[in-house]
Amino acid sequence: MIQSTNEVRAKRKELRADCENCFGLCCTALSFAKSADFPVNKDGGVPCSNLTEDFKCSIHQKLRREGFKGCSVFDCFGAGQMVSQMTFEGKDWKTNPERARMMFSVFPKMQQLQEMLWYLEEARSLKTSFPILGDLGSVLEETERLTRLAPKDLIELDIPAHRAVVNELLLKASERHRRQLASTPKHAVRRKAFGRGLDFMGAALRKADFRGADFRGAFFIAADLREADLRDCDLIGADFRDSDLRGADLTSSLFLTQAQVNAARGNSRTKLPSMLQTPSHWE
């Protein structure tokens, strides 16, 4: 059964970060290197210097001003609270070194599983996915089961193998959805002209009509996409860092995430899918 927008929104709400119920895992488990996104180096498993005793960020309201743009972009898809409250039953990492090592190893795995759930929920909401709903439901249930595994089992989990199964279904859902646009010559030509992993870094694409294109893994870094039409495009894994999306239309784009949107520039005229929020740093 195709899910309603409200049903999808309710389920996806659980796939959003809830920092109040997380033990600052993104601030401890992950590493980052000094760059345009971070002002310092940090090793994985080492708490960020901005992390407070109660697992809060002391500069949360001014991350970008302090040079921590990468933190303002990151999205754990709710993995933080899952690992903190479910996998480790509300027991934090500070009091037990062995637990800390396991928790920091589990967090990246959980983040990937939660991201897969985000995509699967969207695929199930598409009217064009009706013929593959059974398969989507089965894989979604299996993915949810994996998120409930014990810590040691999660650490040993073969994420790439499961992602391959998920990706095959997402490809089918994307193709079925975009195929409906191929009935006109204009869209048919565009579908042949574009493909996955393309490089549009710094490209001048203002007002471009890309509707229905496959842009999986495309590089739009610093591209000018002002007023571009990206409806019904498959944008899974596309890199929008510093791209200009002011006035662009992404309302019915496929598999777009909050992290991708956060990495871009936009304004009040940028049209986003209903499940995503306008970043606070946009104009």
Whole-number mean pLDDT of the chain? 92
pLDDT digits (tens, 9 = 90+) for 248-264: 999 999 999 999 999 99
Residue 177 above 60 pLDDT?
Answer: yes
Pairwise CA distance, residues 279 & 283, whole Å: 9
Q: Which has the minimum average pLDDT: 75-79, 92-96, 139-143? A: 92-96
> What's the pLDDT score for residue 18?
94
8-state DSSP, 257: -
Residue 11: pLDDT band (50, 70, 90) is confident
Give which of 27, 41, 17, 45 is closest to 103, Cα–Cα: 45
Cα 112-259-7 angle, rounded to 5 deg: 75
My answer on whether 232 and 157 are in the same domain is: no
My answer on whether 215 and 150 are in the same domain is: no
My answer on whether 15 and 117 are in the same domain is: yes
My answer on whether 243 and 138 are in the same domain is: no
Residue type, 144: E
Pairwise CA distance, residues 173 & 128, whole Å: 7
pTM: 0.91
Residue 1 above 70 pLDDT?
Answer: no
The tokens describing 236, both together, are 């899974």
> What's the pLDDT score for residue 14?
85
- Residue 16: domain span: 5-26+74-177
* Within a domain: 47: no
Pairwise CA distance, residues 75 & 77, whole Å: 6
Give which of 114, 107, 94, 96 is closest to 155, Cα–Cα: 107
My answer on whether 166 and 224 are in the same domain is: no
> What's the pLDDT score for residue 192?
45
* Tally of CB atoms within 10 A around 137: 13
Q: Which of 177, 198, 216 is the last residue of a domain?
A: 177
220 with 210: CB under 8 angstroms?
no
> What's the pLDDT score for residue 277?
93
> What's the pLDDT score for residue 179?
87
Mean pLDDT value of segment 117-133: 95
> What's the pLDDT score for residue 197?
74
> What's the pLDDT score for residue 233?
95
Residue type, 103: M
pLDDT digits (tens, 9 = 90+) for 34-79: 999 999 999 999 999 999 999 999 999 999 999 999 999 999 999 9
Residue 95 above 80 pLDDT?
Answer: yes
Q: What is the CATH number of the domain that holds 220?
A: 2.160.20.80
Buried b (16+ CB within 10 A) or exposed e, 6-27: eebeebbeebbbebeebbbbbb
My answer on whether 104 and 143 are in the same domain is: yes
